[in-house]
Structure 1
Amino acid sequence: MNFIKRYKILCKFRDNIYSSDVRLIYNSAFELLISVLLSAQTNDIQVNRVTKSLFQVANTPEGMLRLGIENIKNYIRSIGLFNNKAKNIIETCHLLIEKYNGTLPESRVDLESLPGVGRKTANIILNIVFGWPTIAVDTHVFRFCNRSRFAIGKNVFSVEKKLLSVVPGEFKKCCHKWFVSHGRDVCRAKHPSCRVCIINNLCEFKDKHHYLNK
């Protein structure tokens, strides 16, 4: 895909309905971190449901530690991998207090040293909390970029590198969120809605004509 097509796609996303923020509900950097940790293999609706109650009783590292792992499990029991996620929350809170005075570090290396925090989560925190021009690549972004040929790569890291090289600086802070919204709502894994897609004239998806006629 050439630069002109990519630029037109980004302008379409910027000017239309795509949210300028993630769908997780949070009121602080720490709440965002916990929400993203909980979102692995779980949809945002379910995460928001459990954090609405959880954050009322504990929304700081100190509060989570006072609550304790068993009580955290009780709040998040309805989401996938809740045992491991509760353990990661407790260990992360210990590290935030012991090493970073209870605040999130503005460093990829430091963020990725926290239990349960990988490159994608670190990119989200660096982008949303600290304003870094990073681009997090999850399954929605990976699928959209390869399917549309916006940025082709064999794995999420190669797609991330490609995006960083082809996305103009003015779009780097928001394009992850646009791509996630588009991947969830329109460019779905099964039965993509090409007929209502606002970029169907720009997308290079090889099978789009099949879905345009459905």
Structure 2
Amino acid sequence: MTRVLVVEDDPAIARLLRRSLTDRGDSVEVASDGATGLTIAMRDKPDVVLLDLGLPDLDGRQVLQMLRAVSQVPVIVVTAQDDDRTVVQALDAGADDYLVKPFGSEQLAARIRAVLRRSGPGSATDATVRIGELEIDPAARRVLVDGEPVELSRKEFDLLWLLASRPGEVITKRDMLAEVWGLPFGGGDRTVDVHLSWLRRKLGETAAEPRYLYTVRGVGVRLAPPGDAS
């Protein structure tokens, strides 16, 4: 049974979501505003959060940022806003997926399964990966560079782990969007660029002077030891 928190101010939509989820055996709590949603999320620690952006007290992106400051619970943004700018802002703020209303119950169930699969303890091997002075422990979600810990956001770690799990292989932006953000059809290159920039900064490098993340122009990015620009 999956414990789902629905943060939605429209009573009709909230009822539909509750019915759809309980029919498949999930446990559902509903919050009609952002503040209540944050309180429930901290108190009850749900397995996944469905978050509307148009809330009466707080912008949904604010709720997402506040939630991300204290929790790594998977969050699926569920909203009628489908413009690229809003999608990118939500993903950059920490959303794991983005679902545009209206949608079917089977699609919702599949999205929930996908984010839980990506975030679950079995989503990565327990083996620590070492590449040069870069050490990545997927079980603890810990990264060391030159023996010093590096603090990464959830998405930054997921992106680094995707590259580390396929060392030396060029990973396309489309693959990154599909694997890390659950967007198999692309449309968020800017999101990838921003996260790669943040990741490079934390690893002590730049695109012009890479240490681990090498850009293959027009193709993608690969993770390799320092000096391996081939």
TM-score normalized by the length of structure 2: 0.31
Larger relative strand fraction: 2
